[in-house]
Amino acid sequence: MNKRKLYYMLSPSLRRVVRRIYYLPIDIFESVTGKRDAITPPRGKIFIGSGDFLMQGERLLDILTQHGGLMPSHRVLDVGSGIGRVAIPLTKYLDAKGSYEGFDIVKAGVEWCQRRITPLHPNFQFRHIALKNDLYNLSTTAEARNFAFPYSDGEFDLVFLFSVFTHMLPEDVDNYLNQIERVLKKGGTCLATFFIHNEESQRLMAGNKGLQFNHDRGHYLLLDPRVKEANVAFKEPYLLQLFEKNQLAVERIHYGFWPGRDKNSCIDFQDTVVLKKQK
C-alpha cells in the first residue's frame, strides 16, 4: 500500500495528530532557535500539503501577479485559505488600500491566521465556515453546494482558489462559481486551479507514474473512491459548461504538469484557469 492510500485511511483529526507528533522535534528545534518567525505555522500544523511552505507561498503569489492581474491596491478573496500559505506573502505585497478576506472549513487553520496574521495586519480577515469535506472535515453535514459566501455583491477585484476545486464535487463547484461571479466586481478576475481531464491529459496520465484518475463518475473522475474529495479531476467540456452557466469567461487555461507535461512549459502542477466577470 502506498503512503497516500495509508494517509487517506486516517480520519482528518487523526491525520492532524499524527502530523503534529511526527514533526514535534523539528518544530521545537525551530522554535527554540528562532528559525521560524511568529507568523509562519510549525510544520506539524501545516495540513495543506507537502513542499516548502514559504517558497510555495511566494510562488503562488507570483502566479497571482503574473497571471491573475493582482495589484497592491486590490481587494482579494482567498477561498480555502488553509493555514495562510498565500496570505503570508500577500501581507508584504498588498498596500494600505489593499485588503484580504479568506475563509476555510478547517477551524485550526483559520484560528492560526486569526491569531497570528490579523493582529499585525488588520486588513487581513479570516473566517471559519463549517462545511463537510471527506478529506478535511467530517465534523458537520453542512454542504458547500448550499453555502452563500458572507460577502456583498461586487466586492472583490480578484478571487483565487489554489488546490480547492481539486477537492470538491460538481454541485459544490457550480455553487462556488455562482457565488464567485456574484462577489466579483465587473471586470474582476477569478484564478482557480483544477485537474482538467481531456484527451491529452488522459494519454499522458496513462504513460506516467503520477496521479491516476481511474474512477470515472460521468462529469468527473476520482483518484480514490473511498475518499472522494481527496482528488477530483473534471472533464474539460463539463467544466467549460459550468463557467459559461455562471457567466465567467475563460481568459486562459495554463495546463499543469500533473499528468506528465514538461515542467518547464507549465506554471504549476495543477491546471490554472483564469476567468473574467464581464458584465
Question: In angstroms, what is the minimal distance from the CB of 167 to ligand SAM?
Answer: 5
Residue 192 is a binding residue for ligand SAM (CB under 6 A) = no
Q: CB 109: neighbour CB atoms within 10 A?
A: 25
Residue 133 is a binding residue for ligand SAM (CB under 6 A) = yes
Question: In angstroms, what is the minimal distance from the CB of 84 to ligand SAM?
Answer: 8
**In angstroms, how far apart are the furthest CA atoms of the chain?**
53
How do strand 75-79 and strand 215-216 relate by DSSP bridges? unpaired
Report which residue type is found at 218.
Answer: G
Q: What residues contact 230, with CB distance under 8 A and at least 6 apart?
A: 8, 134, 135, 167, 222, 223, 224
Among 90, 144, 180, 221, binds ligand SAM (CB under 6 A): 144
Site for ligand SAM in 226-245 (CB under 6 A): none
Question: In angstroms, what is the minimal distance from the CB of 46 to ligand SAM?
Answer: 9
Site for ligand SAM in 48-87 (CB under 6 A): 48-49, 79-80, 82, 85-86
Q: CB 112: neighbour CB atoms within 10 A?
A: 21
Residue 104 is a binding residue for ligand SAM (CB under 6 A) = yes
**How does DSSP assign 33-82, residue by residue?**
TT-S-TTSPPGGG--S-SS-HHHHHHHHHHHHHHHS---TT-EEEEET-T
Question: In angstroms, what is the minimal distance from the CB of 203 to ligand SAM?
Answer: 26
Question: In angstroms, what is the minimal distance from the CB of 53 to ligand SAM?
Answer: 8
Q: Which is nearer to ligand SAM, 49 or 187 (CB)?
A: 49
Residue 167 is a binding residue for ligand SAM (CB under 6 A) = yes
Among 94, 113, 168, 184, binds ligand SAM (CB under 6 A): 168
Question: In angstroms, what is the minimal distance from the CB of 144 to ligand SAM?
Answer: 4
Residue 223 is a binding residue for ligand SAM (CB under 6 A) = no
Partners of 133 in the β-ladder:
137
Distance CA 206, CA 200 (A): 10
Cell of 249: 469567461
Q: Which is nearer to ligand SAM, 59 or 200 (CB)?
A: 59
How many residues touch ligand SAM under the rule CB under 6 A: the total is 21
First-to-last C-alpha distance (Å) of the chain: 50
Residue 268 is a binding residue for ligand SAM (CB under 6 A) = no
Q: Which is nearer to ligand SAM, 104 or 181 (CB)?
A: 104
H helices present in the chain, as ranges = 3-9, 12-32, 53-67, 87-93, 107-116, 170-183, 199-206, 236-245
Q: Which stretch binds ligand SAM (CB under 6 A): 119-127, 128-136, 217-225, 239-247?
A: 128-136
Residues at the contact surface with ligand SAM, assessed by CB under 6 A: 48-49, 79-80, 82, 85-86, 104-106, 109, 131, 133, 136, 144, 162-164, 167-168, 172
